Structures are given as structure tokens and as C-alpha cells.
Structure 1
């Protein structure tokens, strides 16, 4: 059932018997590049979910918790930022984008990224903001390729990758080499939890979502606050670290 149908995103409920289960479909062209408009529409969808969760009053239903899956179709999950537009808009774009990542990272229900294709740069960061990630096994890379396109990372952008990729050799390959991780490598490196065939991608994401949904029982702020403390340093850098890479190095 469609809940929110905007120009660049569509929010659905795949199971009418479970109103707190959501699928957010990304639909910003072939590549799903992040623009300010795209960020605003994703934020509107998250706003709707929060409002919907608050409106659920049945105690048994609230005990079931809830979950959110994001996905797309075709070759790309997201090919990152619309670079020229982002750079021309500066903080007008970057600050809402970073706030969106912080909100998703600490969202009050479990989140699962069903990565249907390539997830590069800003698309990789968006995927990493989810609690769980399932990747298509037969096609697609996940990578942070800023080093190859000549764009340094802001404090929050680096932090959201560092908080999820904890093995230093994989983090080095990711950030310094811009290595493209195929699905099998992405699992071993910690980028994703599972790699499955395309026809099983959404069903597997739903398995994660339904398994974790009860952790949001009560549909209150408990999971949001747990995540906020779990990723405290990352959230602080996303929200208050600014957009100047290496700004703390100015006195060296």
C-alpha cells in the first residue's frame, strides 16, 4: 500500500497487517544521485514514518515494533551526490544531507538497506547509515571513491564510514585507495551483512526487518537513544562537525 508518493521517493507498506513495516523506494533517475530536493523528499518520508508510529495506539500493535527498508531498482542503489549541484550550493545542500544521515543512523526503528546495485560515495554513506545491509550478489560494487574524484571528506562523512568499518586494513582500502568492493568482499569487510541473488534481495531485507522489528517495541525513543549513544561521536560530527575537511589541522 502506498503511503507517500513523491516525485523522487515512494513509501509503501508491504504488509497491511503490519502497519509499522515500511519500504522506501528511491527513484531519482537511473543513478539516484543526492540533490537537495532528493534529501528533502527522503526527510519528508521519515517525517511521515515518525507521525505514523506516533498514531499507532493499539498496545498489541505497538509491541510488534516496526522497521524500515530502503531500496531501488536497476543498476544503482545510489551513485552518490550530484557533485556540481552540491558544490555550488555548499552548506545549503551539505548540512541537510548530513542531518539526514544522522537521523537515519539513529532512527527509532530498525533500518535495512536492500542494495540493488552500485552504492558509491554519498550512496555508500547513505547505505552505511542503516543498521543492516543486504547486497545483490551478482552485480554491483560498494565504494567510497572520493579520493579518485578529488573530493575530501567532511568530518561527518568520514565518521559514518569509520563507525561501521572497524577493520583498519579495510578502512584504509576504502578511504585511501577508493577500492570497489564486490559483494563477497563487502561481506568480509563489514560493508554488508549478506549478499543474495537479485530475486531474494527484498525478501532477505524483510527477514532482517521482521526479525529486528520487535526491538522497537513500544515505538518510543528507546532505540533512537541507544543508537545515539552507540554512535555518539559520529552523530556529533554529522550535526556539529561542519563541512570543512581537516579544519582542525589549520594550526599545524
Structure 2
């Protein structure tokens, strides 16, 4: 699930999925649609992306990917890349509020924003999915 709040002229997007905010196709799709909605909001000048709980996002939901066929995995990766591109090319100021670890796809989303702020001491940001060939 992805939640959108508007406070003053700021759109705040919160990723809320399991305890580590792992990203499956549904969550990435919801995040992308929510981002586009925030992007179109003329009352908002900036967009903050954050995770719920103690993780920004642990990255792709690997167990669900292992159960997916090649086409489904391709769809997940393509949508993730489109999301990151749209964040990167946004006309609004984009910020990642890293309330915890941002690994793999979570890291990709974070580095797509204009600014990243670590709000938790000792949080890690890493592209660790290379260790399993993704």
C-alpha cells in the first residue's frame, strides 16, 4: 500500500508494505501512480518519499520474483525503471526521507530524487541485489 498526504505545499508519499517495505509489482505500480498524482498536484511544490516503520525500502520482493515467470519479472523491472525516470525528471523538488535502510530497488528510488536525508542513524543505502544477479 502507498499513502499520499498533502501538508502545506508538500506531497508526502509513504510506502507501507510488510515490515521492510519490500517492492512487488503491485507496490511499484501503486507508488508510480501515487507519484504521478503528486506530480500533477498544482498546490504542491515538492514531493517527499518515505517508508513506514524502520525501513525506507529493503528493495524488490525477491521471494515473489522467484515465483514469477520471465515476463512478470521483466514487467517489474520496466515499471521500476519508469518510476525512477519519472522521479528523476520531475519538475518538482523530490526528496527521499530515509528513515531506515534503502537497499536494491529502494536505493534506486532514493538516488532518483533530488535530495536524500538520512533520518535514522546507521541506516544503510546499497545496491546489494547485484549479489544475486539482478
Query: TM-score scaled to structure 2, two decimals?
Result: 0.87
Q: Give CA deviations for 1:31-64 in whole Å, capped at 9, x if unaligned.
A: 11111111111121122223322xx6xxxxxxxx
Which consecutive unaligned segments of at least 5 residues does structure 1 have?
A: 1-7, 57-64, 153-252
Whether the 8 Å contact between 2:21 and 2:52 is mirrored in structure 1 is: no
Question: 1 or 2, which has the higher helix percentage?
Answer: 1
Task: Give 2:84's aligned residue.
Answer: 101
Report the RMSD for the aligned CA atoms in angstroms. 1.7
Provide structure 2 residue ranges, at least 5 long, that are not aligned to the other structure. none
Q: Is residue 40 of structure 2 the alignment partner of residue 10 of structure 1?
A: no
Q: CA deviation at 1:72?
A: 2.1
CA distance in 2, matches of 1:73, 1:134: 15
SS, match of residue 100 in structure 1: helix
Residue 137 (structure 1) shift = 4.4
Aligned to 1:125: 108
Contact 2:46 2:93 in 1 (8 A): yes
Q: Distance in 2 between matches of 1:147 and 1:95?
A: 17
* Alpha-carbon distance between aligned partners in 2 of 1:86 and 1:13, rounded to the nearest angstrom: 33
Mapped partners of 2:74, 2:28: distance in 1: 13
Asked if 1:37 corresponds to 2:26, the answer is: yes
Query: Which string of whole-angstrom CA distances, capped at 9 and with x for unpartnered residues, describes residues 97-116 of structure 1?
Result: 11111111111201000000
Cα distance in 1 for residues equivalent to 2:78 and 2:37: 21
Q: Deviations over 1:42-96 (max 9, x none)?
A: 121122223322xx6xxxxxxxx71001112322110010123335222121111
| Aligned equivalents of 2:115, 2:122: Cα separation in 1 | 19
Moved over 4 A (4+): none
Greater Cα radius of gyration, structure 1 or 2: 1
The DSSP-based 3-state class of the residue aligned with 1:12 is: strand
**In structure 1, what is the Cα distance between the partners aligned to 2:112 and 2:39?**
17
Once structures 1 and 2 are overlaid, which stretch shifts more, 77-86 or 106-115? 77-86
- How many residues of Structure 1 are paired with residues of Structure 2 in the alignment? 130
CA contact (8 A) 1:86 1:94 kept: no
Residue 46 (str. 1) matches residue 28 (str. 2): no
What SS does structure 2 have at the residue aligned with 1:90? helix
Tell me the distance in 1 between the aligned counterparts of 2:32 and 2:94. Answer: 15
